[in-house]
């Protein structure tokens, strides 16, 4: 019997998850938190379930029971990295479409992932151990030099220090608030690449290529590129490292390992995300896969059933994230024809933050840029400022066209 699945996701990826899982034969149930205008993904679901806005694990399991679901898909956000949701599903006899709780726990913070990577022989960014008082700063500062990133115990909330005074202030504030910290070297002109992979319960791991987080705006990811514009040797090196890390934690499902690449071509592992990401839309577009369906099969205990040699990638893809810093009613919202636009919004919806993700596929990287510029020019958004003109200018810039290492162009 085909399963009925509660899909937690409420952002631009929600409709895609519903369509992917329904294509596998499953019935899907969306979460309804009582918005005045129904989100677009409800059109892609078979049923809707009422869920409190807080979306606690126990609320989701109750909603799954009430709507007759056999399983929960956690979506692509923070809920997909909560081992408590997996445990709640187990306690409530509801399936979970994702890795095991102990695998998520092992990867819950970048410090733990860093230790796992080091033990597996995978290069990481030079840094310190955990620091609990100011006296422990002297040795790593002398060894690493400035600038330095100060991170909390989980490897998050990074702040850059360029001298002893700035470092002392940042570390003192955190230690006095009861935190431990660690510090890490800053890599100038870092290229951020990501390897998505599939792992099954028998231990097989198959990498799905390398994509690049190619452009940011005000620190937030704006454009993904697949495949990354890196050498074949570097591609093979980061894929091998990602497979090694996945094997080290016996990962089951779909995950992604991130690396920062320096000017000398050294790749430094910075984390493993145990979930689908917005960027995995590009892997799907080029490889012709439905990764939510792959997740379902892995959660059911199936083997992968294919190797990297069986994949037949076709063309290249760009993923354009369309954001706004405003909050307002979308009085006009007309995506362009001819490209895939993933969104949870429609005219009349309240728009804020991430409005949509546009995936553009073409035979070459340059052709993808040309198609993306044309599509952005046709995208009609009124009611909020989505910065479409600025985004067109950014991806038309010769530095982006040529694949230079850049962080932000506007």
Segment 132-176, tens digit of pLDDT: 988 999 999 999 999 999 998 888 889 999 999 999 999 998 888
User: Which three-class secondary structure state does DSSP give residue 155?
Assistant: coil
Instruction: For residue range 352-397, list pLDDT tens digits in order.
Output: 999 999 999 999 999 999 999 999 999 999 999 999 999 999 999 9
Exposed / middle / buried, residue 337 (Cβ in 10 Å: 0-12, 13-18, 19+): exposed
Distance CA 376, CA 387 (A): 10
Structure pTM? 0.95
**In 355-390, which positions are buried (b, 16+ CB within 10 angstroms) versus exposed (e)?**
bbbbbbbbeebeebbebbbebbeebebebbebbbee
Shared-domain flag, residues 50 and 25 = yes
Shared-domain flag, residues 333 and 350 = yes
Shared-domain flag, residues 147 and 206 = no
406 domain-assigned: no
Distance CA 147, CA 127 (A): 12
Query: Where would I find the beta strands (DSSP E) of 228-337?
Result: 253-261, 267-273, 316-329, 332-334
Distance CA 254, CA 97 (A): 10
Look at the chain and count its residues. 410
CATH number for the domain including 392? 3.30.470.20
Query: What confidence score (pLDDT) does residue 178 get?
Result: 85
Query: What confidence score (pLDDT) does residue 1 get?
Result: 59
* Cα–Cα distance list, 83 to 74, 102, 103, 107, 281 (Å): 11, 7, 8, 10, 24
Given a cut of 90, whether residue 269 has pLDDT beyond it is: yes
Shared-domain flag, residues 155 and 203 = no
The predicted model gives 61-80 an average pLDDT of 96
User: Which three-class secondary structure state does DSSP give residue 161?
Assistant: strand
* Cα–Cα distance list, 288 to 159, 184, 285, 320 (Å): 39, 38, 5, 19
The predicted model gives 307-312 an average pLDDT of 92
Shared-domain flag, residues 326 and 259 = yes
Split into its structural domains, the chain has a count of 3
Per-residue confidence band for 200, with pLDDT thresholds at 50, 70 and 90 = very high
The predicted model gives 124-137 an average pLDDT of 93
Distance CA 147, CA 152 (A): 17
**In 4-22, which positions are buried (b, 16+ CB within 10 angstroms) versus exposed (e)?**
bbbbbbbbbbbbbbbbbbb
Given a cut of 70, whether residue 408 has pLDDT beyond it is: no
213 domain-assigned: yes
In the numeric block, the tokens 């980061």 are attached to: 238
409 domain-assigned: no
- For residue 328, list its beta bridge partners: 351
Shared-domain flag, residues 132 and 59 = no
Instruction: For residue range 277-305, list pLDDT tens digits in order.
Output: 999 999 999 999 999 999 999 999 999 99
Which of residues 185, 200, 220 is at a domain's end? 185
Query: What confidence score (pLDDT) does residue 35 get?
Result: 81
CATH number for the domain including 65? 3.40.50.20
Question: In whole numbers, what is the pLDDT of the chain averaged over residues?
Answer: 94
The larger pLDDT score, comparing residue 335 to residue 404, is at 335
Residues of the chain with pLDDT > 70, as a percent, come to: 99
156 domain-assigned: yes
Shared-domain flag, residues 256 and 209 = yes
* Domain carrying residue 332: 191-401
Shared-domain flag, residues 130 and 163 = yes
102 domain-assigned: no
Instruction: For residue range 211-258, list pLDDT tens digits in order.
Output: 999 999 888 899 999 999 999 999 999 999 999 999 999 999 999 999
Shared-domain flag, residues 270 and 294 = yes
Which of residues 50, 76, 97 is at a domain's end? 97
120 domain-assigned: no
Shared-domain flag, residues 304 and 234 = yes
Which of residues 169, 185, 201 is at a domain's end? 185
Query: What confidence score (pLDDT) does residue 409 get?
Result: 63
């Amino acid at each position: 019997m085909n399963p009925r699945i509660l899909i937690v996701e409420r952002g631009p990826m929600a409709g895609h998850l519903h369509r992917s899982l329904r294509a596998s034969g499953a019935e899907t149930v969306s979460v309804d938190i009582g918005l005045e205008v129904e989100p677009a993904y409800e059109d892609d679901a078979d049923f809707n379930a009422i869920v409190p806005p807080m979306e606690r694990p126990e609320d989701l399991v109750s909603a799954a029971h009430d709507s007759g679901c056999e399983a929960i898909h956690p979506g692509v956000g923070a809920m997909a990295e909560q081992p408590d949701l997996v445990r709640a599903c187990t306690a409530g006899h509801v399936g979970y479409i994702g890795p095991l709780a102990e695998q998520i726990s092992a990867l819950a913070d970048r410090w733990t992932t860093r230790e796992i990577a080091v033990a597996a022989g995978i290069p990481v960014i030079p840094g310190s151990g955990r620091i609990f008082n100011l006296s422990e700063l002297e040795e790593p500062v002398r060894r690493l030099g400035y600038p330095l990133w100060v991170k909390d115990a989980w490897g998050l909330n990074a702040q850059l220090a360029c001298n002893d005074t700035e470092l002392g202030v940042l570390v003192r504030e955190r230690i006095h608030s009861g935190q431990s910290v660690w510090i890490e070297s800053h890599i100038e002109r870092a290229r951020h690449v990501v390897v998505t992979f599939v792992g099954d319960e028998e231990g097989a791991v198959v990498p799905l290529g390398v994509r690049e987080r190619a452009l940011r705006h005000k620190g937030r990811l704006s454009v993904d590129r697949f495949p990354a514009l890196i050498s074949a040797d570097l591609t093979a090196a980061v894929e091998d490292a990602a497979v090694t890390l996945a094997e080290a934690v016996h990962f089951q499902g779909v995950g992604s390992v991130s690396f920062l690449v320096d000017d000398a071509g050294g790749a430094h592992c910075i984390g493993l995300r145990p979930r689908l990401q917005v960027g995995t839309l590009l892997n799907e577009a080029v490889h012709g896969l439905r990764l939510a369906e792959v997740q379902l099969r892995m959660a059911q205990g199936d083997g992968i059933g294919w190797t990297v040699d069986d994949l037949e990638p076709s063309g290249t893809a760009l993923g354009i994230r369309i954001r706004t810093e405003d909050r307002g009613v979308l009085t006009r919202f007309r995506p362009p024809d001819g490209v895939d636009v993933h969104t949870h919004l429609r005219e009349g919806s309240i728009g804020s933050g991430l409005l949509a993700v546009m995936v553009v596929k073409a035979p070459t990287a340059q052709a993808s840029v040309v198609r993306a510029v044309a599509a952005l020019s046709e995208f009609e958004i009124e009611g909020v400022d989505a910065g479409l003109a600025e985004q067109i200018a950014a991806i038309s810039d010769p530095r982006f066209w040529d694949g230079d290492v850049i962080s932000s162009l506007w």
